Structure 1
Amino acid sequence: MSLTLRYHNLSRNNNFDLIRFFAAVFVIYSHSFDITGHQDIEPLKVLSNNYISIGTLSVYVFFVISGFLIQQSYDRSSSLLKYLFFRVIRIFPALIGMIVILVFIIGPFLTTLPLTEYFGNYETYKYLFNCLCLKLYFYLPGVFVNNIIGSSVNTSIWTLPIEIMFYCFVAFIGQIREKKYKQALFVLSYIFILWVSIGLNQTSMLLHNVVFFIVGILLYRFRYTIKLTPWAIVISILCFIVSLFTSGDLINIFFVKYLRTLIFTFSLAYLIIVLAFVKNQLLSFDNYGDYSYGMYIWAWPVQQILIYYYPSMSQIENFILGVLLTFPLSILSWHFIEKRALKLKKLPFFSFPLVYLKQ
């Protein structure tokens, strides 16, 4: 008899860190086309008839995993205060370090403005404080103004406010005491948000990304019944390929578009979970650290710096150098900022008396 997802998830040995690391690398690969001005020839966009890019697919991978792990984090936390604190120390320390370095070291070094004008410019502090508050603003005065894609200092962090919203969403739904109502509400939320996002023709990136996050939550919440079987894996692979590469006039019909996205989200999510719990943990990657977040937040500025100094560089050069330079930064970020911040989890906390968390 095939084992349920819950059995596989009993062990902390999994490949989530490895999957997220490769997702971050693929984001760098996809961005290398944008940053060098070749976005129209990004391979997956071409093959899928402009349905999706490798970077967007990788972001969806991040969101599915986030949904699964954040719901798990919530269930294992003894209080709402502890849950929220753990989320804050995972996101903000590395983000703050990156923003401070960009504003006070990289920005002054690369700006076309005199330093007095740079530090006296309102835009400098608008970037600093807006990014620290996750009210996104991407520009530092005089920095990257002649780059091919424009002067955005760090476009990638657009996903972080959505991530924070996810944390709050999980906490809000978690206040419902009846387990069956929680399950139903998550399912209804998925159906409604998917319907609305398709109806908007995906102009609402927020809603469309929430779909993938909720799928991750659903996989966790139904872990007692979901089984990882060879047939399910084969069917998921076929569904994923068909939904990814199907094109033509039929796709423009609302119901077909809805069904395509439904199949795409669940097949992708199922395959991610399969890879996460492959027997014999791949490369024992989590023994070294979780470098994906550092890779993700540092890659864009590194790639922009490369094109700043070498405007004629090719896409593949930007990708390879981007990975080679970003990886050491992610190692430093993990060992000197993120890992140390996570040690704060060991601080004593009292359960928040007004909030029910137990299932």
Structure 2
Amino acid sequence: MGKGILERLSLVPFGGRLPTLADRFDSRANSIGALRLVLAFAVLVAHCWPLVLGRSMLGSAESMRQTDVGKLAVYGFFVLSGFLITGSALRFSLPRYLWHRALRVLPGLWVCLLATALVMAPAVAYYERGNLDGFWNHPDGPLQYLWANWTLAMDQWTISGILADVPYGRGLEGGGPVNGSLWSLRYEVLCYIMLAALVAASVLARAPGAVVLLLLGTTGSSSKTSAGATGSSSGHPSTVNSALTRLSGPSTNSSSSTWPSYFCSARSPSCTPTGCP
């Protein structure tokens, strides 16, 4: 009896209807920031297996290569971020939303690229070789790294051939990737743009159900593409990685574009430095 009264009372502020997520969510008093921190740390820990130990991603063997801790953490992080970013797109005008997204990504990226190219890379090169001979004027040198990547293009992953002897760099022409985790930025920005288009077309405000249909259609199309790519001898991954590789532009034969092999071999021990079966 008492429980039923409490349940009915809890619906009073919502006009007698069941409360929605928008009703319950508090933009300030929530734990989303803490959850995203935990998920980001999980990605960091999971990547230690292939990057440091030369093994498959944490959780890959336990799930019989169906998934891994890093992949699940990335999915969770993107879902939570998408929830927050959608709220931002609905609250602000389109120019202000895009300005906020640019401020969120670009300054941090530029600081990261500068620190990587001008501090970390020379320090690693000096540690590995005992000098910096040929470092600054290398075809894939630090200045070229900055120029190739400052607009989110991420067309160069190595710097002056460093990290060639670490587990993840062995066998890769031109050295190992210095910050492979930046692969996700271009797709994050692509989602920002898609969300902006949905807001501009008033789809989110007037027909949010259409977004679900669009997502289902996109997922189905991707599944068919992945299935059709199975058994391909192109040397690229035969799953979603194949589509990402085609979108990235440069071939994996280039010393500066090692990200497709980096991306797939972290998840499959059968991958080689030049591609996946």
State the TM-score, normalizing by the size of structure 2: 0.68
Report the 3-state secondary structure (helix = DSSP H, G, I; strand = E; otherwise coil) of the residue aligned with 1:120.
Answer: coil
Q: CA deviation at 1:10?
A: 3.9
Closer, same or farther: CA 192–207 of 1 in aligned 2, 3 Å: farther
Q: Which has the higher helix share?
A: 1
Matched, 1:54 2:69: yes
Alpha-carbon distance in structure 1 between the residues aligned to 2:242 and 2:82: 15
Unmatched runs of 5 consecutive residues or more in structure 2: 1-6, 8-17, 170-175, 228-237, 245-277
Matched, 1:195 2:209: no
Deviations 1:275-311 (A, max 9, x none): xxxxxxxxxxxxxxxxxxxxxxxxxxxxxxxxxxxxx
Report the 3-state secondary structure (helix = DSSP H, G, I; strand = E; otherwise coil) of the residue aligned with 1:118.
Answer: coil
Alpha-carbon distance in structure 2 between the residues aligned to 1:120 and 1:173: 45
Computing the radius of gyration over CA atoms, which structure comes out larger, 1 or 2? 2
What residue is the counterpart of 1:236 in the other structure? none
Aligned 1:136-147 pairs, distance under 5 A:
136=154, 137-147=156-166
Q: CA deviation at 1:103?
A: 0.7
Match of residue 177, structure 2, among 140, 152, 171: 152
Q: CA deviation at 1:72?
A: 0.5
What residue is the counterpart of 1:117 in the other structure? 134
Larger relative contact order, structure 1 or 2 (CA cutoff 8 Å, min sep 6): 1
What residue is the counterpart of 2:105 in the other structure? 91
Unmatched runs of 5 consecutive residues or more in structure 1: 209-359
Closer, same or farther: CA 102–184 of 1 in aligned 2, 3 Å: same
Closer, same or farther: CA 165–18 of 1 in aligned 2, 3 Å: same
Closer, same or farther: CA 167–11 of 1 in aligned 2, 3 Å: closer
AA aligned opposite 1:130: A
What residue is the counterpart of 1:168 in the other structure? 193
Closer, same or farther: CA 24–10 of 1 in aligned 2, 3 Å: closer
Alpha carbons 1:31, 1:55 under 8 Å: kept: yes
Report the 3-state secondary structure (helix = DSSP H, G, I; strand = E; otherwise coil) of the residue aligned with 1:36.
Answer: helix
State the TM-score, normalizing by the size of structure 1: 0.53
Alpha carbons 1:27, 1:58 under 8 Å: kept: yes
Q: CA deviation at 1:134?
A: 1.2
Alpha carbons 2:145, 2:158 under 8 Å: kept: yes
Identity level (%): 25
AA aligned opposite 1:149: Y
Q: CA deviation at 1:44?
A: 2.2
Alpha carbons 1:193, 1:207 under 8 Å: kept: no
Alpha carbons 1:173, 1:182 under 8 Å: kept: no
How many residues align? The count is: 206
Report the 3-state secondary structure (helix = DSSP H, G, I; strand = E; otherwise coil) of the residue aligned with 1:153.
Answer: coil
What residue is the counterpart of 2:80 in the other structure? 65
Matched, 1:9 2:17: no
Alpha carbons 2:43, 2:69 under 8 Å: kept: yes
AA aligned opposite 1:171: A
Q: CA RMSD in A?
A: 2.3
Matched, 1:29 2:45: yes
Closer, same or farther: CA 67–205 of 1 in aligned 2, 3 Å: farther
Aligned 1:1-359 pairs, distance under 5 A:
1=7, 3-40=19-56, 42-77=57-92, 79-111=93-125, 112=128, 114-115=131-132, 117-124=134-141, 125-136=143-154, 137-150=156-169, 151-177=176-202, 182-199=207-224, 200-201=226-227, 203-205=239-241
Closer, same or farther: CA 180–116 of 1 in aligned 2, 3 Å: same
Deviations 1:313-348 (A, max 9, x none): xxxxxxxxxxxxxxxxxxxxxxxxxxxxxxxxxxxx
Closer, same or farther: CA 179–75 of 1 in aligned 2, 3 Å: closer
Alpha-carbon distance in structure 2 between the residues aligned to 1:180 and 1:17: 26
Q: CA deviation at 1:181?
A: 5.7
What residue is the counterpart of 2:12 in the other structure? none
Alpha carbons 1:45, 1:51 under 8 Å: kept: yes
Alpha carbons 1:110, 1:143 under 8 Å: kept: yes
Alpha-carbon distance in structure 2 between the residues aligned to 1:115 and 1:43: 35
